[in-house]
Every structure is written in structure tokens, then in C-alpha cells.
């Protein structure tokens, strides 16, 4: 069992806990957002949505989820797909390791369990990329296992409800354990999936990090904080300057239906050996981020984890690419219509969209890229 409820003393009376479960589930039934993954009890669909929702906003996930499920409607269809297709569907969601792990786990389940995901949270955790949170979400929502889900939203709601605060980073781990234990005490044995989703929904829509809506909160009567709680100061963002080459040419050989203009962009595939976004396609990296004003196409801010990248995009003619850009991986001239369907890094997609070289790719138009495989 991921969270041991006996690790902290019971901080709410059993009568209070029953009332809290009732209020919360009633509120959820009346107020829950209509999200595409909520219309399914299919463990595979729940799994995909939960992985996408980690570190990515719901508004961003909705379209991507629908496109992903259209392309890979079953676990087996995902398992059989080439990794580049999976990464292409994930393009723009970031944290690509999630997509690789999802794919790898689907392949294991297809090969060893005839495509059937394990049922219990304990067994689910044995799969690559599935931790305490995801296993508990799938098992409680799809199979009614009485196990608590603790994500960032639940952590905030329960901290405030119990009146717990953390003022230093070192105290965060101990607090997390207390919250997990409290969640295990509170989860409703009759409707664990709905209870877990209700608590997450409350954190996402009412008990917000800033300006929580306490006046409309269904559990305010038992909340010991009724407002914002103290949190440790956020880690400072670092900043870093880099440059990328935007090199576009017109090739009459490639003028065809997918790209009538015949325009091609030079892309480079990140080597399979790098730890960040291996195998993804991007604009070639410039040797020097200090771009002369006359060649500067745009500057883009792009945040990854704790780093703000200030990215200078330089217009580079085909003949100058070798001199100005570092050759780190395989390069290809790609028709613009084809590039939209490739496993591009989020930054590359952002730059090509802002440069109006392709429309913000409608994801249902993303198609597998024939003949392009992972290196290494």
C-alpha cells in the first residue's frame, strides 16, 4: 500500500470524516469539469491522461489527449507504434521521458500480459514510469481500489485543511509523509475513485495556490486555514542564453501536396545519447548566441524546469550553416508540411509557428513520419 494511514494519529473524528467525504463527493458531482478522460473507465485511457497531466496544464492536455487517443486508441496500438510516432504525438507537451516510459510500459504489457494492464496499485507500480500517484489514480478510478491519490493539488488542500505549513525545504519531506498518511485516512472506501478525483478537482478549481475560493468551498467548515498557507520560497529560476539557426530554402523537388510552396527547413535530430530530449528534432544550435542585429529573426523565452532560456533565432543561409552551427546530430532538409508532423522539441514548434512557417500544428493532422527512426 503506497500510503500508510497509521503513520499519523487520527486528526479528524470519524463523524467529521464521514461528513467531509459526503460534502466533497456531492460537490464534485455538481461541479466537476467535463474533461474527455472522465467519460471513460478504461484503465489505459486513465493512464494516458494521468501521465499527460503530470506537470502540464489541463487546458494544454485536452487537445493533445484527444489526438493521442485517436492515434493510439488501445494499449496495443501504442505498443506497436514506432517511438518517433509517439514522440510526435507528444510534441509540445514537454517532459518527453513520460512519453518514452508510457511507450515502454505499453510494450511490456502487450508482450507479457496480452495487453491487459495490472489491476492493483502495487502491480501497476512495477511498470516503467508508474509511481505512487499514477498507480493509485488508475487503481482507484478504474477498479475502485481503496488507495489515496496525492498530487500537488491534494497536498495543498490537505495542508490547509489540517493547518500544516512548511517554511523550509528540509521540512517538506516530513510534511509530505504526514499528508500521504492523512489522505489514506480520508479516502472514501465506498467511492475511492470519486473521492480522489473530487479532492484533486477541489485543489485545481477552488483551493487555488493564490486566492483560494474559501467562501464556496464545500469543506471550509473543517478547514483550519481558510486561506493561503505558508510555503517555502520558490527556487530561483536560472537564465541561460542560446542561439539556433533558422535556415529555410525552396526546393522544387519537394513541391507537392503536403507542401505546395516547396519550402524546406533544416532540422537536426538530437543524438540518442543525450539525456535531455534524445531523438527529438530541433533547429541547429549556433556556435555563438550573440547574434548580429541584422540577422536576428526573433528572441524567444522558453522555460524548462528551473531554467529560463533566452533563445536567439538567427536567419542563416544554406551555405553558412556549416560555419555558424554546431553539427551535433543527423541533419535533414524537411518540407514544412512534413515538419509539422515530426517529433519536434517544443521550442522548435514554437519558433516555426511564430515565424509563420507553419500554423500551430493541428494535432489531429500529425501523421507518422515514414522512414525516420531513432538513431542509435
CB of 149 to ligand SF4, least distance (A): 17
Instruction: Measure the CA–CA gap between 112 and 77, rounded to whole angstroms.
Output: 15
Nearer to ligand SF4, 131 or 209 (CB): 209
C-alpha cell at position 361: 500544428
Residue reference for cell 504526514: 178
Instruction: Measure the CA–CA gap between 287 and 290, rounded to whole angstroms.
Output: 9
Check: CB of residue 134 under 8 Å from CB of residue 51.
yes
* Active-site annotation holds for 50: yes
Check: CB of residue 256 under 8 Å from CB of residue 326.
no
Does 371 bind ligand SF4 (CB under 6 A)? Our answer is: no
CB of 17 to ligand SF4, least distance (A): 15
β-strand 238-246 against 248-250: which pairing, if any?
unpaired
Residue reference for cell 513541391: 255
- Which entry of 13, 29, 50, 123 is annotated as an active-site residue? 50
Instruction: Measure the CA–CA gap between 71 and 112, rounded to whole angstroms.
Output: 23
Nearer to ligand SF4, 207 or 277 (CB): 207
DSSP of 118-166: PSSHHHHTTSTT--HHHHHHHHHHHH--------HHHHHHHHHHHT---
Which residue stretch of 41-49, 135-143, 215-223, 336-344 sits at the interface with ligand SF4 (rule: CB under 6 A)?
Answer: 215-223
Among residues 124, 219, 291, 339, which is the contact residue for ligand SF4, using CB under 6 A? 219
Give CA angle at 108 (107, 112), nearest 5°: 120
Nearer to ligand SF4, 40 or 205 (CB): 205
Distance of CA 176 to the CA centre of its chain: 22
DSSP of 278-329: TT-EEPPBBS-S---GGGEEEEEEEEETTEEEEEEEEE--GGGHHHHB---S
Footprint of ligand SF4 on 146-205 (CB under 6 A): 157, 160-161
Among residues 182, 187, 207, 277, which is the contact residue for ligand SF4, using CB under 6 A? 207
Size of the site for ligand SF4 (CB under 6 A): 15
Among residues 182, 206, 265, 343, which is the contact residue for ligand SF4, using CB under 6 A? 206
Footprint of ligand SF4 on 303-362 (CB under 6 A): none
Residue reference for cell 541533419: 331
CB of 10 to ligand SF4, least distance (A): 19
CB of 217 to ligand SF4, least distance (A): 3
Number of H helices and E strands in the chain, helices first, is 14, 7
CB of 204 to ligand SF4, least distance (A): 12
Footprint of ligand SF4 on 225-264 (CB under 6 A): 225-227
Among residues 53, 154, 217, 280, which is the contact residue for ligand SF4, using CB under 6 A? 217
Nearer to ligand SF4, 113 or 230 (CB): 230
User: What is the distance between the terminal CA atoms of the chain, rounded to a whole angstrom?
Assistant: 39
C-alpha cell at position 297: 529573426
Footprint of ligand SF4 on 103-122 (CB under 6 A): none
Nearer to ligand SF4, 19 or 214 (CB): 214
CB of 261 to ligand SF4, least distance (A): 53
Nearer to ligand SF4, 74 or 220 (CB): 220
Nearer to ligand SF4, 119 or 222 (CB): 222
Please identify every residue annotated as catalytic. 50
Where do contacts with ligand SF4 occur on this chain (CB under 6 A)? 157, 160-161, 206-207, 212-214, 217, 219-220, 223, 225-227
Amino acid at each position: 500500500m503506497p500510503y500508510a494511514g497509521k503513520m499519523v494519529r487520527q486528526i479528524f473524528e470519524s463523524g467529521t470524516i464521514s461528513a467531509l467525504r459526503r460534502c466533497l463527493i456531492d460537490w464534485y458531482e455538481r461541479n466537476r469539469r467535463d474533461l474527455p478522460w472522465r467519460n471513460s473507465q478504461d484503465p489505459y485511457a486513465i493512464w494516458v491522461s494521468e501521465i499527460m497531466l503530470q506537470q502540464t496544464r489541463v487546458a494544454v492536455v485536452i487537445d493533445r489527449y484527444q489526438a493521442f487517443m485517436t492515434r493510439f486508441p488501445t494499449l496495443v496500438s501504442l505498443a506497436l507504434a514506432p517511438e518517433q510516432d509517439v514522440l510526435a504525438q507528444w510534441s509540445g507537451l514537454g517532459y518527453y521521458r513520460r512519453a518514452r516510459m508510457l511507450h515502454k510500459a505499453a510494450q511490456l504489457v502487450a508482450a507479457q500480459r496480452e495487453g491487459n494492464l495490472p489491476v492493483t496499485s502495487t502491480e501497476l507500480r512495477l511498470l516503467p514510469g508508474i509511481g505512487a500517484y499514477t498507480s493509485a489514480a488508475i487503481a482507484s478510478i478504474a477498479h475502485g481500489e481503496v488507495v489515496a491519490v496525492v498530487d500537488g493539488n491534494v497536498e495543498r488542500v490537505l495542508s490547509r485543511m489540517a493547518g500544516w505549513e512548511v517554511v523550509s525545504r528540509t521540512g517538506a519531506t516530513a510534511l509530505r509523509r504526514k499528508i500521504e498518511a492523512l489522505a489514506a485516512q480520508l479516502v472514501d472506501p465506498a467511492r475511492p475513485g470519486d473521492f480522489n478525483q473530487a479532492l484533486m478537482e477541489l485543489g485545481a478549481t477552488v483551493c487555488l495556490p493564490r486566492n483560494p475560493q474559501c467562501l464556496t468551498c464545500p469543506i471550509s467548515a473543517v478547514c483550519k486555514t481558510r486561506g493561503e498557507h505558508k510555503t517555502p520560497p520558490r527556487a530561483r529560476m536560472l537564465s541561460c542564453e542560446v542561439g539556433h539557426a533558422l535556415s529555410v530554402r525552396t526546393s522544387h523537388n519537394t513541391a507537392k501536396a503536403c507542401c505546395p510552396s516547396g519550402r524546406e527547413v533544416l532540422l537536426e535530430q538530437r543524438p540518442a545519447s543525450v539525456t535531455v530530449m534524445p531523438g527529438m528534432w530541433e533547429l541547429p544550435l549556433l556556435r555563438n548566441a550573440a547574434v548580429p542585429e541584422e540577422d536576428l529573426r526573433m528572441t524567444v523565452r522558453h522555460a524548462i524546469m528551473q531554467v529560463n532560456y533566452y533563445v536567439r533565432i538567427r536567419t542563416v543561409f544554406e551555405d553558412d550553416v556549416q560555419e555558424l552551427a554546431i553539427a551535433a546530430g543527423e541533419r535533414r532538409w524537411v518540407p514544412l508540411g512534413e515538419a509539422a508532423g515530426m517529433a519536434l522539441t517544443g521550442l522548435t514548434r514554437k519558433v516555426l509557428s511564430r515565424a509563420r512557417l507553419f500554423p500551430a500544428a493541428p494535432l489531429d493532422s500529425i501523421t507518422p513520419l515514414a522512414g525516420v527512426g531513432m538513431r542509435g
